[in-house]
Amino acid sequence: MKKNNAIDIIKRMKNAKILVVGDIMLDRFVYGEVQRISPEGPVPVLFQKNESYMLGGAGNVVSNLCGLEVQVSLVSAIGQDDIGDQLREILRAKGVGVDGLVALKDKPTTLKTRYLASNQQLLRVDHENPAALTDDAEKQIWAALKSRVEDHDVVIVSDYGKGVLGLKLLNDLMKLAKKAGVPVLVDPKGNDYKIYKGAFLVTPNRKELGEAVGYTVPQDDAAVEEAARTLMKKAGISAVVATRSEAGMSVIQKKADKATHLGTTAREVFDVSGAGDTVIATIGAALATGASLDDAATLANEAGAVVVAKIGTAPILASELLPRFLEGRQSSENVDTAEQAERVVSRAAAKDIVAGWQRDGLRVGFTNGCFDIIHQGHTTYIDETKTHCDRLILALNTDKSVKRLKGETRPVNSEGDRAAVLAALRSVDLVVLFGDDDGDNDMPCQIIDTLRPDVIFKGGDYTEDQLPEAKIARAYGGDVVIMSLVEGRSTTNIIQKMKA
């Protein structure tokens, strides 16, 4: 795959429209510390410190598509409960419409709660009813689907076996999508793939592929291809993308005589959680731009390599995928450039990243400013803040915001240049722009409330009672730390010296 082609596809994903249908759920993570065993029984006592929530099931496919900046619609079922309300709020925060969610009286929203201490999961509690939908509920789901399919470029079916995707619904969807000329991609469940007859593509892993054909599939190219062709013939499916863990993935199509086998590009593998959702989301996003399946799978293989190097379930971001196709990225210079580019992200992407860090028990710090001309005062301050946290977010005022705060002659350096320089600093883990409109009021209150870092830092020329953002942080349980400043160092002084 040519570099320029890959970059063009990633950039065009912003115009793609994808419909996700399947089992959505809410994942809850409760973090704490174990210091003793309960006197009531041989079980650890967890002292809870904090908790976080994220989209699960089909919702993780949605999160990955949002990370790729795709236009996403969702059709699923939730309960008429507080969990469903919370799930709606998370979707709205990502810019995803919720009018395709059917609220049911007799079926609760699926909630999976994980209790963790020192990154070790102690217990998982599932609150769900995986029974099939009633006829009335299925009719409501179908009505939501029927009105949306032809308005999208691709449909992704995310089957987690929680009852949303009945046989009749799937059959009707395949017929409708075929008539509309919209390809259907399936992340499958179970071993009977005949229920997906008419789908363009399924994405089983090697173990699931073996279960579908009735035997264990060896880890070699020829065996995977043979099993995939057996499955396509048996189930009436046009293509299979089989994920193979450390062996990468294989692309097998009915219309192609030869399979395409892609080796993994992951440098390190920490956690494969959610990697399948990343793969099908990336393939769908690429196909929606008109890319070939081989090119779409190549992009998905790179996206999978990114997410398995993260701890815990975390979506792919366009800003992480794009640098992997820089010219000559194998050189240390370009790898550094790619890593720096990955640190400059949107607010929505930053929210997901921060939640992931906090799930892993990391203390997340936050500071903000214009940082127009970087000087020793800035670097000393940033390095000092990093000693108080595990990860540091730097929120950077946009050009419009700096102009409002500092006057028409500022900023000296554009927001893109300022962000790139800050992302290159060893102490900075994430750069997020804010203040692009008057709604932010040039203050970091909104972005702090969105990201909810564990601690916010401010320079020593302020006191806490002078900071509106301090009240925001204290309200959700965050800390506020006032840092010392390097005397005589400021952008204003530098500009005055230059004029003199």
The set of catalytic residues is 277
CA separation for the pair 93, 447 (Å, rounded): 12
β partners of residue 392: 365
Strand partners, 344: 431
186 bridge partner residues: 157, 202
Could you tell me the sign of the dihedral formed by the alpha carbons of 359, 364, 370, 372, in that order? negative
Say how far residue 420 (Cα) sits from the centre of its chain: 22
The structure tokens 């970059």 sit at: 7
Query: Measured in whole angstroms, how far is the alpha carbon of residue 383 from the centre of its chain?
Result: 28
Hey, what amino acid is at 475? Answer: A
Q: Which class for 363: exposed (0-12), middle (13-18), buried (19 or more C-beta within 10 A)? A: middle
Q: What residues pair up with 155 in beta bridges, in sequence order?
A: 19, 184
Q: CB–CB of 68/12 below 8 Å?
A: no
Angle at 268 between CA 264 and CA 270, to 5 degrees: 110
Q: Determine the Cα–Cα distance for residues 252 and 127; give it in Å rounded to an integer.
A: 38
